[in-house]
Structure 1
Amino acid sequence: MNRSIAWRLALAIALTCALVLSVIGVFLYRSLASELSFRDDMALLGRLERMRALLHDSDSLEALQERPRLYQNMLGNRDSLLLVTHSDGRPVITINPHQQALPPVQPLSQDRMPQRSDIQTVDNLVLLSGVADGPADERLNVTVGMHLQEREQMLASYRLRLYMAVGLGALLAFGLGLLLLRRGLKPLRELAQAMRGINPRSLDQRMPVDHVPTELKEPVLALNAMLARLEDNFARLSQFSADLAHEIRTPLHNLLGSNSLALNQTRSPAEYQDVLASNIEEYERLNRMAENLMFLARAEHGQRPLHLQNVDLREVGDELCDYFDALAEDRGVRLGNSLSGTLTADLHLLQRALSNLLANAVRHAEPDSVIRLVQREDAEYCWIGVHNIGPAIEPQHVGKVFDRFYRVDPSRSQPGDSGGLGLAIVGSIMQLHGGEVRVQSDDSGTLFELGFHHK
């Protein structure tokens, strides 16, 4: 089912207009009905008083009976009625054009002024009755009334016109609303047309924001920001593909070369063993790369569960220093551990992150320098860092060192190289912990820090 926003909004506008017009119509209808009722009631009250005065001032009842048209003219139309009777019920004046039987009505006393509350409504009739003094001071009962048929017909006609006005108003509101909404949604169609022209080769295009309505400016800016992120991620993915091909090609080239040389001529068993040992190193390199890539993929998709526990930082630092002590000695550097206290983290992942940072620090530290495991606290994070003295990382590289396969050194082939995935794994580990990782590098040294939220 096509659920057009323009149609739905136009329908909502039409329903709203119909509701508003209906409320106004009900108010006007009730006001008219109340006004007509008030007018008729006041007319009846006036007629009763006039008939009382006329009866009292007449010379005789016979003179009044001989001139009935006087009362008909006074009453004004065929929907009005007048009944004057003696106290014993004998009629004196009877004007009842419809010859309708009247229900008994209790007459008001002569000394009581009639009120609207004294008027009774019975069978489509409004009646008012009162006692009057005749020409000879005899007691007479006067009943005045009015048929409501004319009033009901007028109100019925008014209701019909209100229904028609509400219906036509709703249709008009729907049509005008739909027209205006289609014109108002034109910028959305233009944006959709512009978006259709964006493909992987044109991710640098952006949606125009100069002539869009104010309500659409925020979504368009957010869309442009998303396009910028997509462009950056697509570029990173392309670079990652190229780097991955390069990293795999090197060990494969080494394997093909060594095996081809071994097969060109007969070799001794020792030489074949050397070839196999060299092949095993390349296979191990490929295997480490595959495991690291698998870890990164699982970490980014949240498939690597965390096993949080209270970790003794001093003990972890001592174990890592012992593990890297031989490598540090070969490089002519020393290790120092300043960690203390406890931290809630995944022990295995914490050790892996710090190992990668220590391996990176040992590789780049200046001889006779000290690599330190340092710690500091702030209001939000517990920061654990690895500091080494060595060549500073240039500013253009600082924001990219945690990318996969990214190396500051373009040679890409140093002994003990992690394949360009070590720092990327550190970033993923901190992402799993919901923390932060950052680097500071200047002439005083390079500091990699892991920020863990306080629990």
Structure 2
Amino acid sequence: MTRFWPHSLTARLALLFAASALLTLSVVGVYLYRSLANQLQSRDEHELIGKVEQYRHILIETPSVRAIRQDQHRFIDVATGHDGLIVFLRAADGQILVRNQNDAVSLPDIAVVPANETPDESALKVWEYAPGRVATTISAWGRLADPATQVQIIVARTASDRMSLLDEYLRDILGAVLSGAACAAMLGFIVVRRSLRPVKAVAEQAHSITARRLDKRLEARAVPSELQTLVQSFNAVLDRLQESFQRLSQFSADLAHDLRTPLYNLTMQTQVALSKPRGEDEYVALLGSGLEEYERLTRMVESMLFLARADNAQVALNRQPLDGQEELQRIADYFEGIAEDVGVRLAVDGSATVNADPTLFRRAVNNLVSNAIRFTPSGGTVRLFIEQKPTSTLVSVSNPGKGIAAEHQPRLFDRFYRVDEARSHSASSTGLGLAIVASIMKLHGGQAMVSSTPNEITTFTLLFPIHP
């Protein structure tokens, strides 16, 4: 089927139009043919009944059987001009008085309508008057002028003339059906081809969009309303593609920048160390500084590997109900020593059960707490809060400080994005912490959000769905 089915949409629709027209015209043709056949048959049946009544009327005016023999043409003339009409008049003793054709090899053996009854359609029977040849027949008694004398009237109508007319009509119908289907296919091809011109124009517009022209969009107003949804969806895909392309380009630039810094430091330190002989203390300091850069590179590579696996859904989740307050207290205890060194307090509040992977939950909250401690002034308090919502569990980490400007907040979870460029080269930061938090929330089917007021409170909120 596929082998003979054209690939062209125009040709397919034209064939479908032709098939639809062929089917419709065929159904109409069959209906008209059957209707005509029924009408012809009904006409023949009424004609036969009428002929019986006509012969009865003539017989009443005939004085005797002998008069019928002497004037047969009077009775034969009644059937003249009616092709396929067979007439017999038979006396009560079985003798044939009148016959207009010699084709019949035998007389019909059917019930005879009494002379005092009016014949109707129920008296009509099928009579095989010759081998393989049939006729619709009716038989009735008719009285002569002498009421005591009756004559059997036999009138039959062959189907030859009716079938000849129907055959000719059938040929006309077949010709009309085929011609109509051909016209429908031709007109359908023309109409569809003209109707698909906007699609061709859209295809040409789409062909002109390249990696360097991702800002170009398809004209939705230039296409029919049925295709506007498709064009709008395609434009939405281009929007997402352009955004992803821009983020990828920015990510590549940021990655190159962040990798260049530790590599540059390692290269310069090594060149300085090799420029002349050094003491043992200098080599130890050099190795310690290099180790810090190696550790930074290691953390960066591990974070990038985690993000790549998370993007491809290769991180297996081990969801289980966790005591949120207990988990947050454990994290606060872990950071207590670091916080005390910079004069920051940690406070845990609220209670709820969170449905999450324990390791990933702790990693996400650890990243938020680490950032909060880093940007909290001495004497401030980092608050960890958990609360049960109707459809999710809310976990938030808030801290005082100079805050984050509104223009930076939408990009905080982008990779390598930093608000404080002065800290961009810190050995403790890779610029991927918040991106990892966003990926962890995406894996859980949740959401990461931020709200900040300059010189007041900055709050990062994680929403873990109860039923992921």
TM-score (norm 2): 0.94
Identity of aligned residues (%): 38
Q: Does 1:143 align with 2:143?
A: no
Conserved in 1, the CA contact under 8 Å of 2:61 and 2:145?
yes
Question: 1:161 corresponds to which residue?
Answer: 172
SS where residue 415 of structure 2 aligns? Answer: coil
Q: Which residue of 1 aligns with 2:366?
A: 355
Q: Is residue 86 from structure 1 mapped to residue 74 from structure 2 by the alignment?
A: no
Moved more, 262-271 or 160-169: 262-271
- Rounded to whole Å, the distance in 2 between the matches of 1:362 and 1:182 is 67
Give distance in 1, aligned partners of 2:75 and 2:157: 14
Q: After superposing the two structures, state which structure 1 stretch, 177-186 or 420-429, moved more.
A: 177-186
Distance 2:71 2:452 in 1: 122
Aligned to 2:131: none
Sort the Cα spacing of 1:367 and 1:356 in 2 relative to 1 into closer, same or farther, 3 A.
Answer: same
In 1, the alpha carbon distance for the partners of 2:278 and 2:29 equals 107
Q: What do residues 136-174 of structure 1 show as CA deviations (whole Å, max 9, x unaligned)? A: 332321100111100001011111111111111111111
Partner of 1:411: 422
The one-letter code of the counterpart of 1:118 is: A
**Per the alignment, in what secondary structure is the counterpart of residue 202 of structure 1?**
coil
One-letter identity of the residue aligned with 2:277: T
1:47 aligns with 2:69: no
Alignment of 1:7-406 (within 5 A): 7-75=11-79, 76-96=81-101, 98-123=103-128, 124-136=134-146, 137-406=148-417
Structure 2 distance, partners of 1:110, 1:439, is 109
Residue 68 of structure 1, CA deviation:
3.0
The one-letter code sitting in structure 2 at the alignment partner of 1:24 is V
- The 1:167/1:412 distance shift into structure 2, 3 A limit, reads farther
Q: 1:78 to 1:454 in 2, by over 3 A?
A: closer
Q: Which 10-residue stretch deviates more, 219-228 or 235-244?
A: 219-228
* Runs of 5+ unmatched residues, structure 2: 129-133
Higher mean displacement: 374-383 or 29-38? 374-383
C-alpha contact (below 8 Å) 1:317/1:339 kept by paired residues: no
Q: Does residue 446 of structure 2 align to residue 446 of structure 1? A: no
Structure 1 vs Structure 2 CA RMSD = 1.6
Distance change (3 Å), C-alpha of 1:78 and 1:387: closer
Residues of 2 paired with 1:126 and 1:101: CA distance?
A: 15
CA distance in 1, matches of 2:24, 2:74: 49
AA partner of residue 56 (structure 2): R
State which drifts further: 418-427 or 404-413.
404-413
What whole-Å deviation, never above 9, does each CA across 1:322-369 have from its counterpart, x for those lacking one? 111122122221110114232111000000000000011111112211
> For the residues of structure 2 that align with 1:243 and 1:102, how far apart are their CA atoms?
110
Q: CA deviation at 1:245?
A: 0.3
Q: Which runs of 5+ in 1 are unaligned?
A: none
Matched residue type, 2:274: L
Kindly indicate whether the alpha-carbon contact (under 8 Å) linking 2:355 and 2:465 is maintained by their aligned counterparts in 1: no
* 2:452 counterpart letter in structure 1: S
In 2, the alpha carbon distance for the partners of 1:100 and 1:181 equals 63
For residue 411 of structure 1, what is the amino acid of its counterpart? Answer: A
Question: Is contact 1:302-1:432 (8 Å) kept?
Answer: yes
Secondary structure of the corresponding residue to residue 163 of structure 2: helix
- Please, what TM-score do these two structures have when normalized by structure 1? 0.96
For 2:321, what is the secondary structure of its paired residue?
strand
Q: Could you tell me how far apart the structure 1 residues matched to 2:361 and 2:208 are?
A: 46
State whether residues 86 and 140 of structure 1, in contact with CA within 8 Å, keep that contact through their aligned partners in structure 2: yes
The Cα shift of 1:272 comes to 2.0
Name the SS of the counterpart of 2:220 in structure 1.
coil
The farther-off stretch of 358-367 and 131-140 is 131-140
Q: Is 2:404–2:452's contact at 8 Å kept on the other side of the alignment?
A: yes
| Superposed displacement of residue 65, structure 1 | 2.9
Q: Secondary structure at 1:351's aligned position in 2?
A: helix
CA contact (8 A) 1:356 1:426 kept: yes
Contact 2:124 2:136 in 1 (8 A): yes
Q: 1:435 aligns with which of 432, 438, 446?
A: 446
State the alpha-carbon separation in 2 of the partners of residues 274 and 193 from structure 1.
Answer: 64
8 A contact 1:79–1:146 mirrored in 2 = yes
The separation in 2 between residues aligned to 1:376 and 1:339, in whole angstroms, is 6
Deviates more, 1:373-382 or 1:48-57: 373-382
